[in-house]
Structures are given as structure tokens and as C-alpha cells.
Amino acid sequence: MKSITVFTSNQPRHLSLLIELSKVYEHVFAIIECNTVKPGEVKDFFDKSDIMKIYFSHVMKSEKKIFGEISFLPKNVSPLILKMGDLNKINIDTLKPSLDSETFIVFGSSYIKGELIDILIEKKCFNIHMGVSPFYRGSSCNFWALYNNDYQYVGATIHLLSKGLDSGDILFHCLPSFEPNPFNYTMKSVKSAHLGLIKKLKDKTIFQSNSLAQNKKLEISYTRNSDFNDEVTSNFMNTKIDLKIFENKVKNRKLSEFINPFLY
């Protein structure tokens, strides 16, 4: 397979996807929007506070366990480095070399608008949404699924990119197997998305797959970044999870609720 263009970010999980795709495609164009690699400790997309620092120390520990550290990229990856949020401000001609790829993926970029979103929709770009749509949409969806004890709805959605946030037609869901550590469990959902998407890219079944419109009546939660604050983070960290309920909900998911589920 020749070339792929990925709009993503700079955390280990994002770089890991680029590395894995570099093994499948001859060339990877990577438009990387950067945030701090020390969330909670440095104010950026998330606030800086003692509780955020504690929370994200667990997140980073799980991310390191599953995806390793930040690293240099392979030689067949061409990166364009931007600050998070700058993607919509640059001239579209800057991206021109990357817009002739066979395949396009969005994973963790800023909200794409303008001429670029029209181009990507036309090219049937795939979006990795870390959350199970249409049940959980918006920001930090898997955190909110855990917070609401909806452990069965922790996962990822692979859908066609659209102008609405996380609202494109769904191709399939990716679901992690039970893991008693909630941080490892949510990070496994990212790994499930990587594995599921790459498998379907390699065997090319994703290009023949039918997509299904999202049923908005099934929505449980739509959250914004501002909803994820010190108070809810503290509540989460101070609430002990009932592991029996956790395990039961995950192991007894109604797979009929999910679209072409990929299990990891």
C-alpha cells in the first residue's frame, strides 16, 4: 500500500499508531498537533492542579505500559508539526503533498473545519473516536463512561469523518476485554482501535464496509472539555470501583448494541 495521511497528536498512543501504519504503507504523512506530554502538571488542553497531576500520572503509566514512551518516527514518516488548534489556520497549500494519499485517518487532532474538512469528507476519511458512539460523544468519553459506571461502553468508534463532532456514519466499534485497572482498561480501548483499524486496512475490508448512521436517540452523554474538572476528577479518584460489577458489565456486554464489534 502506497501512502496514508494521518491527522493526529503527539502522545505515545498517537505516535504508536504512526509507527504501526509505517509498517503497512510505503509512506505516511503525519500532521501532528502538539500538546504537553505532562498533562495535569503543565496547563494546556487540561488544567494544571494537584488532582489532575495525580489522575494523569495514572493515565501516563498505563499509556507507557501499552504504547511505550514518546519516540522518534521511522524514516518513511513525513511529519508536519503544529501547535494544537493551528491546523485550521494554515494555508491549505501547505498540506498539498499529503492530500493525494490513498487513505486518510483522523485520530486526536483538533476540530477540523473549512476547506480541509470538505476535502477529507470527499476522500472518505476515517475518524478514530475514543468513545462508543452514539452512546458517548464529545470529550474524554471513556472517562465519563467509567464515571457513570457504564463500563460496557468504554471503547472506540471507527466512523467516517463528518462536519459534526463524532457524528459520522459508523463502520465498527472496538472494545477492550476486562482489565481490573480502569486506566489500563481505557488505554486498552485505544489499542483495540489501532489493531482493529490496521487489520481492516491491511485486508482492505474497511473499503468495502457498509456504514450505519448514528441513532441520536441512544445518546447517554455529550461532554465538553470544560466538564472534565477538578471536582469530577476528585470524585472519580476517591470512589472505589466495585470490581464484580465492573467485570460483569464488561464480560456480559450485549454485542448486538455495537456495530461489527472488534474485540481485544
Provide the grid cell at 96: 498539498
pLDDT at 115: 96
Residue 47: per-residue pLDDT = 78
In the numeric block, which cell numbers belong to residue 170? Answer: 459508523
Task: Determine the Cα–Cα distance for residues 156 and 62; give it in Å rounded to an integer.
Answer: 17
Angstrom distances, CA of residue 1 to CA of 91, 120, 158: 28, 19, 20
What pLDDT score was predicted for residue 46?
79
Do 34 and 108 contact (CB within 8 A), yes or no? no
**Which residues of the chain register pLDDT less than 70?**
44
Give the 3-state secondary structure of residue 78: strand
Determine how many CB atoms are found less than 10 A away from the CB of residue 10.
Answer: 20
Distance CA 32, CA 111 (A): 13
Check residue 42 and give its pLDDT: 78
pLDDT of residue 95: 97
Reduce the DSSP state of residue 159 to 3 states and report it: strand
pLDDT at 40: 75
Cα–Cα distance, 137 to 103 (Å, whole number): 24
What pLDDT was estimated at residue 190?
98
What pLDDT, on a 0 to 100 scale, did the predictor assign at position 41?
Answer: 80
